[in-house]
Structure 1
Amino acid sequence: MEFRQETSVPIVPSTPAIERASAGHVRRFPIRRGKAVILAACAWPRLAYHGASAISQRIGDPMSLSSATSSIPAHDAAVDALLAASLLAPEDAAVHAALGLALRAAGRDAEAVGAELASIALGRHDALMYYNLGTSYLMTQRPALAVKWYRLALRVDPELVAAHQNLATILELDGCRREALYHRDQAYRRQNIFIDGAPAAPRTVLVLCTAGTGNVPIEYLLAPAHNRRVKWVMEYATLEQAAQLPPYDLVFNAIGDADVSPASREVVRRFLSTCEQPLLNAPAAVARTSRDLIPALLGDIEDVLVPPVLRLPANGVAPAKRLAEAGMRAPLLLRPVGSHGGRGLQKLDTAAALAAVPGDTAAECYASAYHDYRSADGHYRKFRVIFVDRQPYAYHLAIAAHWLLHYTSADMLAHPWKRDEERRFLADPAGALGARGMAALGAIGARLDLDFAGVDFALLPDGRLLLFEANATMLVHTEDFHDTLKAKNPHVRRILDAFDAMLAHRQ
C-alpha cells in the first residue's frame, strides 16, 4: 500500500485584494545587520515571507543570520507574523533565520534555537540534520513539528530508518495506523537489530522490542553508558537472526504492553525456548497485565480496590447491552485497547450517554467502572510506584482539580504546595499511604511477579488503594530540564540503582 509523502504547506497566492486588505497593517522592524529590514505582516503573514526572502537576497547566505545577535524590538507581533510566514513557506531558510532573530529579541531563546537550526538545516538540505531537528522537537513533546522534519528527511533520504521509526510512532499515537504501518515496514524490513551503548560496558543486554508503541522505556533503565544494548524488533525477527546476534549476558523483554505482545508472541516463544541466558520480565507475566485481567489478578488483595473491566469487541453488539449483561452501569470509562495517557478516553456518566455509544466501532475497547477518588480538599491525587525485582519504590504524585489526571497535565510546576506534598510522599511513602497501603503494594508487586513494572493508584478515605493500572510500560526518568523538579532525582536514582543492581545480580 502506497502513501504519499506530504512535502510542505502550499503557499497561498498573493492577490491584489490581499495586498489592498493588508495596507496599513504592515509594521517594519529594522534589523541592524547591513541595511536589511524584516517586514512583519501582522495581518497578512505572506508579506513577512516576502520580507524575509528579501533579506536572503540582500545578505546572501541565510545561515549567517542564525548566529547574529542583532537588536530587534521585542514585539510579539513580529514573532507571530514570522511564525505564520514559516507555515506558508516551511522550507525557506531565510524565513526561519528571521524568526530566530525575532524570537531572540523577544527573549524566547529556547524557541529561537529551533528556528536557527531549521535555517541551517534548510540551507544545507541535509537528511540527518532534518532528522536531528525532528527528534529535538519530539523529545520536547512537539510531535507536529517533528513530523514535518521527519518527512523532509525522508524526501532527501527515503532509506533513513530512524526517521521512519519515529514517524511511525507519532502517527500511531495520532490514530493514523495504516500510515504508521507503512513507515514501520519501511524501517524494519531494512533493519530490525540495533546496537548501541558503550562497547566496554560491563554487560550486554538483548532487548526484545515491539515495532509499535508498548515497549518499556529503557533509555534510563539501561543507560547506554553502562549497558551495551542489542535491540531486536520481534515482529520482523527470524530465528536465523538469533545465531547472528552478538554475545549477550541478559535478555530483557521490553514488550511491556499485553495488548501488543500477541503480534510477536510466537517468535518470542520460539526464541526463548532455546535461549540459555537469564530472562527479565517473562512474557507470560506481562500477558497477565491486560486491563481486563487485572481485576482477577489483583482484586482479592486486602485493601486494594480494582474496578471491574470488560473488553468490548470491535463491530460487535452495542456496548450498553454487553455491559448490562455483565452487571456494569454508568458512570463508566471507555478507552481503545492499547491506548495510554488518556488518548481516546471517554467518561460516560449516564445510561443515556452509554446507550448512545455505537456497537460498530472499528477498534476494541475497554469499559471500566468509574470510582470517584476526589480528596476532601476537592483535588484528585494519583500516585505512581515502581516495582524493581518486585519491591516498591515511590516515583511520583500528581495532584489536580480534574479526574483525568497525568503528571504532565497536573500543573505541578506552578504550585509549590503540590510539589511539597509530592516530596513528602517520595521521602516517606509509608507516612503518606500508611502501613496498610504499603502492605498492599508489597502484595501487588509479588502478584505481578515482574522484574520491572509500575502501578498507578489513588488513596481512598478508608485507606484502600484504588487501582488504575498495573503494567511494565511505566516511564522512569530523571528530571533534567526543570530545576524545580530536580529535587525528585535522588528518589529516581534509587530506582535506577536498584534496577542496575538487579541486572548485576542476574548477570
Structure 2
Amino acid sequence: MELKRVDRAELVSYPCADRIGFAKLTTMAFNGVDLRPMRDAIMAKIAMGTVDAGEGLDLSLIVQLLGDKQMGLAVQDEVLAFHQLFRSPCSLEQPKLRVLALAAVMDVSGNTPIEFLLEHSGTELQTLYVVNGVELPSPLPEHDVAIVIASDSEECREALRKIDRIAAHWPRPLLNPPQRVGNLDRDKLHRLLHGIEGLDMPATEAMTRARLSDLAQMDGPLADIAADMRFPIIIRPRGSHAGNGLAKIDGRASLGRYLAGRPEQEFFVSRFVDYANDDGLFRKYRIVFVDGRPYACHMAIADRWDIWYLNAGMAFSESKRAEEANFMRTFDDAFAVRHCHALAGMAKCIGLDYFTVDCAENKAGELLIFEADNTAVVHNMDSPEIFPYKSPQMNRIFDAFAAMLLHRAGGRRERPA
C-alpha cells in the first residue's frame, strides 16, 4: 500500500505502549544489576494475564541481556504481532520535540540505540516497529521528525524497502533515509568511498562458502580470483559485528580450518592491513557523524589487531586513558584537521544524518576505514571516576544530535490548536 502525501493535521495519535526502554535496562546490565527479579515479575504478570505490550517488549530485551537471544526474539515476535508502537521515558513532562524512530524486528544490536542519544534531551521518543505482513499505519503517528534506525543487515532489508516505498511522501522530515542506510554493507561501502583523498579502505569481497572452499584448495595467487587480495586476509561472516567470527588467515590451510569451524554460508573477505604504531600497539577510533560533522567517540589501544573497546583493557591502564582523553580534547584541532579531506568526503558520500565510523591510521598516515554503521552503541555508561573525560564529550554528541533533530523539525514543536 502506498501512502499518499498527507497534510500535517492528518497525523493521528495512536495508543502507545510505555516501556522501561533500552537505555535504562542496558545501563542496569552494564552496571551489574541482576535483571532476573524484573524478568520474573513480568513473567508472573504474563501468567496472570495482566502484562501489557510495553512490559512484554522490556521482557524481550531483559531476556536477551541475560544471554538467551533466541527466547528474547521469540518474546519480541509475540509482542509485535499485536502492537508496534512504543514510547520511551522522557525527561520532561512537556516534551520539546516528538521523534518517531522507525525500527526493524531485530535483536538488541539491529537498530540504532537512539535512547542513549536522547535520554536527557527532553524529547519524546516513539518507536514504530516495521513488521513483515503489517502495513505502516495510515495516517502515520503524530511526530515532528522521523528517523530510520534499522540497520543495513539482511534481516532489515524488508523493513527498509517498506519505508522506502513511502519515503518520498513522508509528511515530516525523514532522517537517515533507507536507501542510504542500505549502502553501509561492507562491500558496498568500499565502492562508495573509493577514491576519497586520504582514505584507505581495502576492497571487501562477499564470498560464498563454496567459493572460499575452492580457494582453500587451489594453487595460484588470490589476486587471480579477487583484485587487491593476498594473504594474509581478514575474514568474517556476512552480517557479523563486534568481532564475531573475525579471523586473520595466513594461508590456504588456515582458511580450510576456519571454514571447518564456521556454520555460515556467506562471508566478507578483505586484505589485512598492519596498522600498528612504532610502539607495536594498535589504535582504533570510533567517530560519530552528526549532520555531517565528526565527533570523537572513543579510542581503543591494544597489542592486538582485532581490537574493540571491550577487549582493549582501557579501564586498567592509566596511560591508555590519558591518551584517549588527549584524543578527545584535541580532536577538533588535530585528528579532524589531519584527516579533514577524508572525513568530509566520507560524510558527503555516505550522506546519512547520523552514523559512526570505526577507523585507524595506516602507516602512510591515511585514515584506514574498518566499517561505517548507523547502529553502533554510543553511550555514557562508563564510570565517571575512571573515565572523567568521557561524559563531557558524550554530552557534546548527544546535544548535537538533539539540536539536529530540533533544527530539522523546523526549530520548534508544533502543538495542536
TM-score (norm 2): 0.79
Deviation at 1:433, TM superposition (A): 3.2
Cα distance change on mapping 1:161 and 1:259 into 2, 3 Å: same
Aligned ranges 1:136-175 → 2 under 5 Å: 139-140=29-30, 146=35, 150=39, 153-154=42-43, 157=46, 160-166=55-61, 169-170=64-65
In the alignment, which of 280, 293, 296 is matched to residue 378 of structure 1?
280
1:240–1:493: structure 2 CA closer, same or farther, 3 Å change rule? closer
Distance 1:505 1:302, change over 3 A: same
The aligned counterpart of 1:221 is 117
Q: Which has the larger radius of gyration?
A: 1
Whole-Å separation in 1 of the counterparts to 2:138 and 2:336: 48
Letter in 1 for 2:192: L
Equivalent residue for 1:295, pick from 185, 190, 194: 190
Say if 2:200 is the partner of 1:305: yes
1:347-426 equivalence runs, <5 A: 347-358=248-259, 361-426=263-328
SS of residue in 2 equivalent to 1:417: helix
What CA RMSD, in Å, does the superposition of the two structures yield over aligned residues? 3.1
Q: What whole-Å deviation, never above 9, does each CA across 1:177-224 have from its counterpart, x for those lacking one?
A: 5x5542331221132210233451011111001121321111232236
Letter in 1 for 2:295: Y
The within-5 A match list for 1:237-276 is 238-239=134-135, 241-243=137-139, 245-276=140-171
Take 1:142 and 1:390, find their aligned partners in 2: how far apart are those partners? Answer: 36
Contact 1:319 1:357 in 2 (8 A): no
Task: After TM superposition, give the deviation of residue 378 of structure 1 in Å.
Answer: 1.1
Whether the aligned pair in 2 keeps the contact of 1:314 and 1:361 (CA below 8 Å) is no
Question: 1:251 and 1:469, CA in 2 relative to 1: closer, same or farther beyond 3 A?
Answer: same
| One-letter amino acid matched to 2:98 | T
Q: Secondary structure at the match of 1:288?
A: helix
Distance in 2, matches of 1:137 and 1:202, equals 24
1:398 positional shift? 0.9
| Map of 1:235 onto structure 2 | 131
Amino acid at match of 1:376: D
The answer on whether the counterparts of 1:295 and 1:308 sit within 8 Å (CA) in structure 2 is yes
Q: Quick one: distance in 1 between partners of 2:378 and 2:59?
A: 25
Unaligned runs of 5+ in 1: 1-130
Structure with higher RCO (Cα < 8 A, 6+ apart):
2
Quick one: which amino acid aligns to residue 228 of structure 1? Answer: E
Q: Shift of residue 169 of structure 1?
A: 4.2
Aligned counterpart, 1:498? 400
Alpha-carbon distance in structure 1 between the residues aligned to 2:77 and 2:122:
31
Aligned length: 371
Which structure: greater helix fraction?
1
Deviating beyond 6 angstroms after TM superposition, the runs of 4 or more aligned structure 1 residues are none
1:195 to 73, 87, 95: 87
Q: Is the 8 A contact 2:209 2:259 kept in 1?
A: no
AA aligned to 1:207 is A
Q: Structure 2: how far apart are the matches of 1:452 and 1:311?
A: 26
Instruction: Return the alpha-carbon distance in structure 2 between the equivalents of residues 330 and 246 of structure 1.
Output: 52
Counterparts of 1:454 and 1:276, CA distance in 2? 27
Question: In the alignment, what sits opposite 1:336?
Answer: 237
Structure 1 residues 311 and 164, CA gap change in structure 2 (3 angstroms): farther
Equivalent position of 1:104 in the other structure? none
TM-superposition CA deviations, 1:406-436 (whole Å, max 9, x none)? 1122111222211111122111125543744
User: Amino acid of the residue matched to residue 185 of structure 2?
Assistant: S
Distance 1:224-1:414 versus aligned 2 partners, 3 A rule: closer
Kindly, what percent of the aligned residue pairs are identical? 29
The residue aligned with 2:226 is 326
Shift of 1:238: 3.2
TM-aligned CA distance change 1:136 to 1:453, over 3 Å: closer
Equivalent pair of 2:104/2:159 in contact (CA under 8 Å): yes
The verdict on how the C-alpha distance between 1:367 and 1:418 changes in structure 2, with shifts beyond 3 A counting, is: same
